[in-house]
Amino acid sequence: MIEIQMPRLSDTMEEGVINAWLKKPGELVKIGDILVEIETDKAVMEHEAYEAGIFHAVLVQEGQSAPIGTAIALLDDGKDNAPAPVPTGPSTPKAVSVLELATSATPTRHEKPTAGLKETPALAPRTFSSPLARKEAKERGISMGLLTGTGPGGRIVRSDVISATEMDSPATPGDGDKATHGGVKTSDGDSKNGSDVLRGSVIAPFTSVRKVISSRLSESSRTIPHFSLTSVADVEELVQLREEINAQRQAMGRSKISMNDFIVRASALALLEHPGINASYSPENGGQKLLHGRINIGVAMAVEAGLVVPVLVDAAHKPASQLGTETKALTAAAQERKLSPAQLSGGTFTVSNLGMYGVESFSAIINAPEGAILAAGRSGLEVVVRDGEIMARHQLRLTLSADHRIIDGADGAAFLQTLVALLGQPLVIVS
């Protein structure tokens, strides 16, 4: 009997959630067959079989999580005979070990169901739901069968689960850890003084993605000595050139190039001139600077699951149009949580853009182990003095956050100076 274990599918993954089993007990499994879809902290990914046999049993059910290395299923390779295992039920909080399975008795069809549990009809209709919705429902302890989907075709989405938790529910008898007041769950301490009740607080448990975001950003902010520099770029010519290019592309049936595509392109070219910014800190030998030979720019994206940073490889050697095409493809994959580990790895510098939300400027937290991150605001008309004349021109604020262990203020300022100059000369960026 072969144990199929929870694989490590990303560098930050600690546990995975079973999204869907694509094989059933008794089915033949060949090498290379897709066994299961696993939801990591970054994406929903397929896991294939590395050995052949008969799919024997599921140990971790759909919607349940398991740490890396935990047995999630058994594959019968014909080398030994193990008793039929008892798979975990929907309410089981953890995976059943092989030892527990070996010592468990398999219930017969004539046994009555456990008191208090309802029998599930054999032909119950399937409830369609998104992976995030199933994960959210599991963490909040909500049955998917009680929810009504508002997504396409009645599909249950994450917002349906969150909306359901906002409804009033009575306090659970005997719950000594948390109290519920009018649908608001509070900690034991807050239930005594009623502070959460007065604030109308509602508990929103972290998803696996949010847990990783919280952990990594906290570590980055705590361990990396950040400093920030802000410059203003005159992008009047860039805005006009972009309008002309997009008008031509639209006439040819091609997608538009965004302002962010030009910013990524300009950043990559600026990194070519300032390789010291395209670097990382290494603690080895008392601390050293790693200079990266390739310019791989991560693009921060906000999706339903949380913040992800897919990577544009060799961005300095690609025109803005190609960067735009690749970014759109990565965005689509991120929305569906289909990003591969390769698409999320190898970044040397990150661009975070909140201009589309009307944000003028902000400081971003470094995406470790990178040495710097660029925060871009919106490009808007402002009154400026140019050649002694007062006029309205499009201005763009850029803030560089850098690791002071490997990058000095003057180095960061020189990088921004080059970046501002490039954005002011759009023909250099386009070519």
Long-range contacts of 260-263 (CB under 8 A, 24+ apart): 260/299, 260/327, 260/351, 260/353, 260/355, 260/376, 261/320, 261/321, 261/323, 261/324, 261/327, 262/238, 262/320, 262/423, 262/426, 262/429, 263/351, 263/353, 263/374, 263/376, 263/398, 263/423
d(CA 187, CA 194): 10
d(CA 321, CA 324): 5
d(CA 141, CA 205): 11
Half-sphere exposure of 428 (CA within 13 A, CB side): 14
Contacts of 246 (CB under 8 A, 6+ apart): 256, 257
Contact 424, 234 (CB under 8 A): yes
Q: Which tokens in the block code for residue 405?
A: 């262990």
d(CA 283, CA 254): 47
DSSP code per residue over 293-334: SS--EEE-EEETTEEE--EETTGGGS-HHHHHHHHHHHHHHH
State the Rg of the chain over Cα. Answer: 27
The β-bridge partners of 75 are: 2, 55
Task: Return the closest-CA partner of residue 63 out of 114, 32, 20.
Answer: 20
Contact 133, 305 (CB under 8 A): no
User: Residues with catalytic annotation?
Assistant: 404
d(CA 130, CA 62): 12
Residues in the chain: 431
Q: Is 192 in a helix, a strand, or coil? A: helix
Q: Which tokens in the block code for residue 400?
A: 């560089």
Give CA torsion, residues 207, 210, 215, 218, to 10 deg: -150
Task: Return the residue matching tokens 């950040």.
Answer: 226
Q: Is 4 in a helix, a strand, or coil? A: strand
